Amino acid sequence: MPESNNLQTINSWRTILSTATITATSLIVAGYTTYQLSKQYQKDKEIPTIKDGVEELIGNTPMVKIKSLSKATGMEIYAKMELCNPAGSAKDRVALNIIKTAESQGQLIRGQPGWVFEGTSGSTGISIAMICNSLGYRAHISLPDDTSLEKLSLLESLGATVNKVKPASIVDPDQYVNAAKKACDTLLKDHSGAKGVFADQFENEANWKVHYETTGPEIWKQMDGHIDAFIAGCGTGGTISGVSKYLKEAKNLHGKCHVVLADPQGSGFFNRINYGVMYDYVEKEGTRRRHQVDTIIEGIGLNRITKNFHLGESFIDESIRVIDKQAIRMAKYLSVNDGLFVGSSTAINAVAAVDLSRNLKPGSRIVIIACDSGSRHLSKFWKEARDVERDISLDKVMEA
C-alpha cells in the first residue's frame, strides 16, 4: 500500500508540474504575442493617416538629438524640427491659426474671395501663401527688398503678390509691416466686396496661442516631461512666449525649465531680458548698417516690444547674445557633423545651447527650435557658411 500511495503521489506531482509547465508556456506565448501585437500597434500608429489637405500636415514635428553637440558638451541637446512643417518653418502654425481666427470672426469666409496681407522678412509670408492656396485665398506679402532671393522666389512661385520695400524702422509709414496694413486698408475701402485681413503676426495673439496650444505640449510629450532648458530666438515673440508659458505652467514637468532667448547681434532683446532696457550699442547714431537689425540673421532679432513678446516676457529667464560669425560657423558644423542643414536662426539657437551648457549639470536636457532649412539662406547666410572649414572644431565655432 505505501508503494502504491507513493506512486499515486508521484503521478499527481507529475500531472501538476506538467499542467504548470503548459500554463507557464501558454502565459509566455500569450505575453510574447501581446508584446508583438503591441509593437505592431505602435508601429501602425506611427504611420501617418490620410489628410484632407496640406494644412492638416502642420504640427507634430519630430524631435531629433543633435549628437555632435550632445557628445561635446556632456548634455542631451535636441532640436524640435519645425523645418519639417509643409511650408518649411514654424510659421506654418502661426499662419494657419491667424487665418482660422479670421474665419471665426467673419473676416474671411471659406469658398469666397479673400486676401491675407502680411509684412514679413520671408518665412511667415511663405506659410501664408501656401495655406492661402490650400484654402482658396490669395496672399499679399510686403517684405524688405534685401530678403534672401530664395524666399522671394518661393513667394513668387507660390503665386503671392509681393511688395518689396526698403528696410526701415517701424515708425516709417513705408516699413514693410506698415505697408502690409496700408494695402489691406486700401482693399477694404475700395468697396469691391472682397474680404481681406491683415495678419499682423507681431501683435496678433493667435501667434503665441498656437504655440501654447500645440508646440509646447508636443515638446513636453516628446521629452516625457524631462526638459531642463528651452532655447528659441525672438522675432514676433510668438514661439518663445507660447512655449515658455506652457512649460512653466506644466504641473507634471520634472523640475524647472530654464528658458533662454537666443539673440543675434544688433537686436535689443538681450539687454531687455538681462538688464530691463530695450537698447543695443548699434543703436548709436551713425553705427547702423541697415535700419532693422545689424545682422546677417533673418527671422529673429528686433528693437521694439511686440504684444506677443510682452505677454511671454515674464517666462523668459535669460538671453544669450550670439554674433554672426558664431552662427555662420555653427551652421557649417551641424551640416558636417550631424547632417542638419539649417538656417541662420537655428544656428543661433545651437550656439546658445552650447554656451548655456557650461552652466548646467552633466546630462541636462536642452531643447532648441530648428526653425527652417538652410535652403532658404543660400544666397546670404550660407554664401558665407559654405566657405567655413569642413573640419572646424566646436571650440573654434564658439570663438567670439
Report the interhelical angle of 149-157 vs 123-135 (nearest 10°): 10
* Same domain flag for 251 and 132: no
Across 5-9, 110-114, 140-144, 339-343, least confident range? 5-9
Q: Are 149 and 374 in contact (CB under 8 A)?
A: no
Confidence of residue 288 (pLDDT cuts 50, 70, 90): very low
221 and 233 fall within a common domain: yes
All 3 cell numbers of residue 16?
Answer: 501538476
Same domain (yes/no): 244, 183: no
Residue 304 has pLDDT above 70, yes or no: yes
User: What percent of the chain is helix, strand and coil (3-state, nearest 5)?
Assistant: 50, 15, 35
Residue 260 sits in the same domain as residue 329 = yes
Residue-wise pLDDT for 57-66, tens only, equals 999 999 999 9
Q: Is residue 9 part of a domain?
A: no
Residue 392 lies in a domain: yes
Which stretch of 20-34, 78-92, 312-326, 341-355 has the lowest confidence by average pLDDT? 20-34
Kindly report the CATH number assigned to the domain that includes residue 372. Answer: 3.40.50.1100
Report yes or no: 152 and 162 within 8 Å, Cβ to Cβ: yes
Per-residue pLDDT of 1-43, as tens digits, reads 555 666 666 666 666 666 666 665 666 766 666 666 666 656 5
The pLDDT tens digits for 148-201 are: 888 899 999 999 999 999 988 888 999 999 999 999 999 999 877 889 999 999
**Whether 268 and 222 share a structural domain:** yes
User: Does residue 32 form part of some domain?
Assistant: no
Q: Are residues 211 and 359 in the same domain?
A: yes
Same structural domain, 307 and 248 = yes
Helix (H) or strand (E) holding 384: helix 381-385
Residues with Cβ < 8 Å from 210, sequence gap 6 or more? 93, 94, 96, 97, 238, 242
Question: Which residue, 140, 172, 198, sits at the end of a domain?
Answer: 198
User: Do 72 and 129 sit in the same domain of this protein?
Assistant: no
Residue from 141, 127, 155 nearest 54 by CA: 127
One domain, residues 115 and 81:
no
Task: Count how many domains the chain has.
Answer: 2
Residue 160 shares a structural domain with residue 271: no
pLDDT confidence of residue 2: 56
Which pLDDT score, from 0 to 100, does residue 285 have? 39
Shared domain for 298 and 161, answered yes or no, is no
C-alpha 39/C-alpha 83 separation (Å) is: 29
Range of the domain at 161: 90-198
Query: Would you state the cell numbers that stand for residue 188, as one nine-digit string?
Result: 477694404
Q: Which of 198, 218, 244 is the last residue of a domain?
A: 198
Query: Strands (DSSP E) along 85-188, which ranges?
Result: 114-119, 138-144, 161-165
pLDDT in tens, 213-260: 999 999 999 999 999 999 999 999 999 999 999 999 998 777 799 999
At a CB cut-off of 8 Å and minimum separation 6, what does 303 contact? Answer: 266, 267, 268, 278, 279, 280, 283, 292, 293
Question: Do β-strands 76-81 and 63-65 pair in parallel, antiparallel, or remain unpaired?
Answer: antiparallel
Q: What's this model's pTM, rounded to 2 decimal places?
A: 0.85
Same domain, 108 and 256: no
User: What is d(CA 269, CA 321) in angstroms, rounded to the nearest whole number?
Assistant: 9
